[in-house]
Amino acid sequence: MCNPACFIFTVWLIALLVYPGVPARSGESYLKDNITVRQGDSAVLKCNVDNKVSRVAWLNRTTILFTGNEKWSLDPRVVLLNTAVTEYSIKIINVNLYDEGPYVCSILTNKKPESTKVHLIVQVPARIVNISADVSVNEGSNVSLMCLAIGRPEPSILWKFRSSKGDGKGNRIITEGEYVEMTGITKDMSGSYDCITSNDISPPDVRTVQVTVNYPPVISRARSTGTAVGQKGVLWCEASAVPLADFQWYKGERRLLNGLNGVKIENKGKQSMLTFFNVSEEDYGNYTCVAMNTLGITNASIILYGPGAIHDVNNAALSPANSFMLLTLVLTLSVLSKF
């Protein structure tokens, strides 16, 4: 049977649960500092007592957790610590966001109730919860990227660009915030876009969107070559394009085929090589390297010449306008090949 002191203490506990913001009559309430913990860590709530204390209990905003050594809470994460005689402490293991809020240590001493309040603050590491998928667009298109993150405190978001060229020169922070808007995208903007979110609770969370910019071929290198009769000669050209360019070689308006008339055509990535295994007088002259993909076509004029001939070997013609008839022929053959 509950004695008068027990009755007073029970009424006091009920009052704290029903009216958490109002101390019970004739009781005293003390506010301690906030306790801040990271989600997933443990929190220890301490309450100082002395030998005058006859009853003691821990409560949160809705539940009596412990009264003395008796556990009322059904949560296995909440445990009573065996600490010093002058301390009545509980531990919350694997703290989550729902544990945040006020906690009260209620004490009955000389039939006079007192309470100590502490507020538990739970911090949540920044985490990316939604981000744009990888995108592939044609040059000149508009692109919007999105990255959403959660955390407590509110996390910051940075976007960092890493160029697909891999030279490190294009690496830079481009904007802050959840969105990146790009108007009239160019091939130089192709690469990796890192979304970096942080709130200083844990290491930053980083996820990446790969942006691929498709563009028509651009011949970047084409070099004329001088080779003596009977020797091996190689003409080659290089074209940047996304998707990669297909190559064709012409002499005049005649297309050259691999393995015929003593020539070999070898395409490797961005480069195409035309090899003459045994150069003859008839092989000398102007050749055209044609590079094409689904977005466009271009060509370069390259010369194979003999010893003593005067040519500017570093200035092969790169103007498509000079070979309009050839390009028309290539396009016509490409269309016919589909039937």
Kindly state whether residues 171 and 246 are assigned to the same domain. no
Query: What's CA 225's distance to the chain center, in Å?
Result: 47
Last residue of a domain, one of 90, 105, 123: 123
Output the pLDDT for position 6.
Answer: 52
Residue 239 inside a domain? The answer is yes
Last residue of a domain, one of 123, 157, 179: 123
Return the closest-CA partner of residue 276 out of 235, 323, 322, 329. 235
Whether the CB-CB separation of 186 and 138 falls below 8 Å is answered with no
**Does residue 155 have a cis bond before it (omega within 30 degrees)?**
no
Kindly state whether residues 230 and 211 are assigned to the same domain. no
CB atoms within 10 A of CB 193: 25
Output the pLDDT for position 302.
Answer: 94
Residue 146 inside a domain? The answer is yes
10 Å CB burial of residue 126 (0-12, 13-18, 19+) is buried
Residue 330 inside a domain? The answer is no
Kindly state whether residues 138 and 185 are assigned to the same domain. yes
Kindly state whether residues 115 and 160 are assigned to the same domain. no
User: In sequence order, what are the beta bridge partners of 29?
Assistant: 115
Interstrand relation of 78-80 and 101-109 (parallel, antiparallel or unpaired): unpaired
Kindly state whether residues 230 and 313 are assigned to the same domain. yes
CATH number at residue 102: 2.60.40.10
Kindly state whether residues 190 and 138 are assigned to the same domain. yes
Kindly state whether residues 142 and 172 are assigned to the same domain. yes
Residue 15 inside a domain? The answer is no
Kindly state whether residues 249 and 278 are assigned to the same domain. yes
**Range(s) of the domain holding residue 304:** 224-321
Residue 11 inside a domain? The answer is no
Residue 333 inside a domain? The answer is no
Report the distance separating Cα 114 and Cα 116, nearest Å.
Answer: 7
Residue 155 inside a domain? The answer is yes
| Tokens read off for 312 | 């500017």
Residue 63 inside a domain? The answer is yes
Interstrand relation of 101-109 and 53-60 (parallel, antiparallel or unpaired): antiparallel
Kindly state whether residues 242 and 284 are assigned to the same domain. yes
* pTM of full prediction above 0.85: no
Kindly state whether residues 202 and 171 are assigned to the same domain. yes
Output the pLDDT for position 311.
Answer: 56
Q: What is the mean pLDDT of each run of 10 residues along the chain (339 residues)?
A: 49 46 41 84 88 83 88 92 81 93 87 84 95 96 96 95 74 91 94 95 95 96 90 93 95 89 90 93 94 96 83 46 44 47
Last residue of a domain, one of 215, 250, 268: 215
Kindly state whether residues 154 and 118 are assigned to the same domain. no
Tell me how many domains the chain contains: 3
Kindly state whether residues 228 and 211 are assigned to the same domain. no
